[in-house]
């Protein structure tokens, strides 16, 4: 039976560990001058993106190509979506062309869950609205894993996630994944950008960023998602940065060697100051490399029925 990756909710700790270990091996391949492997030879990977993307789309495409798959991209703006074709018809059409893996991003939460049962291709969620972005959380955890050295060190790891949690699919997938690995997650931001009942997901929630950052092992900024906000949820970008932005002084509250992460794209001077983005603790570029490795691992495991 085909396998899909729709989210990290409910994924077992063993499955997460298996993906991360596979991705670690894939990262070795990425460091070679010759990155071609035969893992997906003859398979077809199609990226169907209804929302903009730089990192996610390009890394799925490169991951597919590195593993010798046929890779193709389609965006809503250049397709028959503009002529009124529905998501279901578009997905069926791509499936009928021999797609083996359909990577999709959509502004509607749950869109991949609608498509997965009606196509024979494996569906990978590359971000659905405010719901989940599973490969992002996996690449975040791979980046942490490489610094921690072992899965044991995830236990009790203090991870502070700061920013627009309300609109963030990244925070939700990270909470599911990090909880499964035994980390202690604290989410912080202005009250208007914190979802109600986020505590019920098993995390600490606070409006006090300094409190969240204190003694953290990992500090993750989240982008202010202006495209998903219908009304101003904070007075101004400048004020946001002053009270909730991560700058050098705030970062000093975390452990000395804490990792600074961000899924990108970064709004410099809003959720993170430029000095911390470019600072020594920043692993933002490592996250990008981890992204290619994780996507290679996920597509490889899916294609042989070994993801779960
Ligand atoms: N790139 C991530 C996403 O698509 C984070 C962001 O856009 O803020 O969710």
Q: What is the pLDDT of residue 231?
A: 67
CATH classification of 13-132+288-303, choosing from 3.90.1150.10, 3.10.180.10, 3.30.413.10, 3.40.50.1370? 3.40.50.1370
Region 155-184: what's the mean pLDDT? Answer: 97
Checking if the pLDDT of 234 tops 80, the result is: no
Region 103-124: what's the mean pLDDT? Answer: 97
- Percent of all residues in the chain with a pLDDT value above 90, rounded to a whole number: 91
Quick one: three-class SS letters along the chain?
CCCCECCCCCCCHHHHHHHHHHHHHHHHHHCCCCCCCCCCCCCEEEEEECCCCCHHHHHHHHHHHHCCCEEEEEEHHHCHHHHCCCHHHHHHHHHCCCCCEEEEEECCCCHHHHHHHHCCCEEEEEEECCCECHHHHHHHHHHHHHHHCCHHHHCCCEEEEECCCCCCHHHHHHHHHHHHHCCEEEEECCHHHCCCCHHHHCCEEECCHHHHHCCCCEEEECCCCHHHCCCCCCCCHHHHHHHHCECHHHHCCCCCCCEEECCCCCCECCCECHHHHCCCCECHHHHHHHHHHHHHHHHHHHHCCCCC
Half-sphere exposure (Cβ direction) of 43: Cα atoms closer than 13 Å = 25
Q: What is the pLDDT of residue 41?
A: 98
Tell me how far the alpha carbon of residue 94 lies from the centroid of ligand 1, in angstroms.
Answer: 25
Q: Is 262 in the pocket of ligand 1 (CB under 6 A)?
A: no
When pLDDT is cut at 50, 70 and 90, the band that residue 154 belongs to is: very high
Tell me how far the alpha carbon of residue 30 lies from the centroid of ligand 1, in angstroms.
Answer: 23
Ligand 1 test: best mutation among 104, 163, 170, most atoms within 8 Å of CB? 170
Q: What is the pLDDT of residue 178?
A: 98
Say if CB 98 and CB 45 are below 8 A apart: no
Say if CB 112 and CB 128 are below 8 A apart: yes
Say if CB 179 and CB 14 are below 8 A apart: no
Taking the C-alpha atoms of residue 121 and residue 140, their distance in angstroms, rounded to an integer, is 26
Greater model confidence, 94 or 228: 94
User: Which of these ranges, 67-76, 185-194, 233-242, 286-295, has the smallest mean pLDDT?
Assistant: 233-242
Q: What is the pLDDT of residue 45?
A: 98
Q: What is the pLDDT of residue 190?
A: 94
Residues carrying CATH 3.40.50.1370, the chain = 13-132+288-303, 134-287
| Residue in 94, 93, 115, 108 with CA at minimum distance from that of residue 51 | 108
Sheet (strand 122-128) strand order: 70-75, 44-49, 101-106, 122-128
Checking if the pLDDT of 281 tops 80, the result is: yes
Say if CB 251 and CB 281 are below 8 A apart: yes
Q: Is 134 in the pocket of ligand 1 (CB under 6 A)?
A: no
Taking the C-alpha atoms of residue 302 and residue 45, their distance in angstroms, rounded to an integer, is 12
Q: What is the pLDDT of residue 150?
A: 98
When pLDDT is cut at 50, 70 and 90, the band that residue 199 belongs to is: very high
When pLDDT is cut at 50, 70 and 90, the band that residue 111 belongs to is: very high
Q: Is 106 in the pocket of ligand 1 (CB under 6 A)?
A: no
* Distance from chain centroid for Cα 54: 13
Taking the C-alpha atoms of residue 150 and residue 86, their distance in angstroms, rounded to an integer, is 45
Region 1-11: what's the mean pLDDT? Answer: 97
Q: Which two tokens stand for residue 145?
A: 């894993």
Region 193-218: what's the mean pLDDT? Answer: 97
Q: What is the pLDDT of residue 230?
A: 65
Q: Is 169 in the pocket of ligand 1 (CB under 6 A)?
A: yes
Q: What is the pLDDT of residue 115?
A: 98
222: Cβ contacts below 8 Å, ≥ 6 apart: 161, 162, 163, 164, 165, 168, 170, 171, 189, 262, 263, 271
When pLDDT is cut at 50, 70 and 90, the band that residue 237 belongs to is: confident
Predicted confidence (pLDDT) per residue in 32-57, tens digit: 999 999 999 999 999 999 999 999 99
The correct answer on CATH 3.40.50.1370 for the domain covering 134-287 is: yes
The residue written with tokens 């001077």 in the block is: 269
Q: What is the mean pLDDT of the chain?
A: 96
Predicted confidence (pLDDT) per residue in 166-179, tens digit: 999 999 999 999 99
Ligand 1 test: best mutation among 125, 265, 284, most atoms within 8 Å of CB? 265
When pLDDT is cut at 50, 70 and 90, the band that residue 243 belongs to is: very high
Taking the C-alpha atoms of residue 272 and residue 244, their distance in angstroms, rounded to an integer, is 9
Q: What is the pLDDT of residue 227?
A: 76
User: Which of these ranges, 13-22, 213-222, 225-234, 261-270, has the smallest mean pLDDT?
Assistant: 225-234
Ligand 1: nearest atom to the Cα of 105: 4
Whose Cα sits closest to atom 8 in ligand 1?
223
């Amino acid at each position: 039976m085909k396998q899909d990756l729709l989210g990290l909710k409910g994924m077992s700790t063993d499955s997460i560990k298996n993906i991360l270990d596979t991705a670690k091996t894939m990262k070795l391949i990425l460091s070679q001058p010759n990155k071609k492997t035969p893992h997906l030879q003859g398979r077809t990977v199609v990226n169907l993106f209804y929302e903009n993307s730089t990192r996610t789309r390009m890394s799925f495409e490169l991951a597919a190509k590195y593993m010798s798959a046929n890779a193709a991209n389609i965006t809503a703006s250049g397709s028959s979506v503009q002529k009124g074709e529905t998501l279901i018809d578009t997905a069926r059409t791509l499936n009928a062309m021999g797609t083996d893996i359909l990577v999709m991003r959509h502004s509607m939460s749950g869109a991949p869950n609608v498509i997965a049962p009606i196509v024979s291709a494996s569906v990978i969620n590359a971000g659905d609205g405010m719901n989940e972005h599973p490969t992002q959380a996996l690449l975040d955890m791979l980046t942490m894993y490489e610094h921690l050295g072992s899965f044991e060190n995830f236990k009790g790891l203090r991870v502070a996630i700061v920013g627009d949690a309300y609109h963030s699919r990244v925070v939700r997938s990270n909470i599911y994944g990090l909880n499964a690995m035994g980390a202690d997650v604290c989410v912080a931001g202005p009250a208007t950008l914190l979802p109600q009942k986020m505590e019920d997901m098993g995390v600490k929630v606070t409006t006090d960023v300094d409190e969240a950052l204190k003694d953290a092992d990992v500090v993750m900024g989240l982008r202010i998602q202006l495209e998903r906000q219908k009304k101003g949820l904070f007075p101004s970008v400048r004020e946001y940065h002053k009270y909730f932005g991560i700058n050098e002084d705030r970062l000093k509250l975390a452990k000395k060697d804490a990792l600074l992460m961000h899924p990108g794209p970064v709004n410099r001077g809003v959720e993170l100051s430029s000095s911390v983005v470019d600072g020594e603790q920043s692993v933002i570029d490592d996250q990008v490399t981890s992204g290619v490795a994780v996507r290679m691992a996920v597509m490889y495991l899916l294609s042989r029925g070994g993801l779960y």
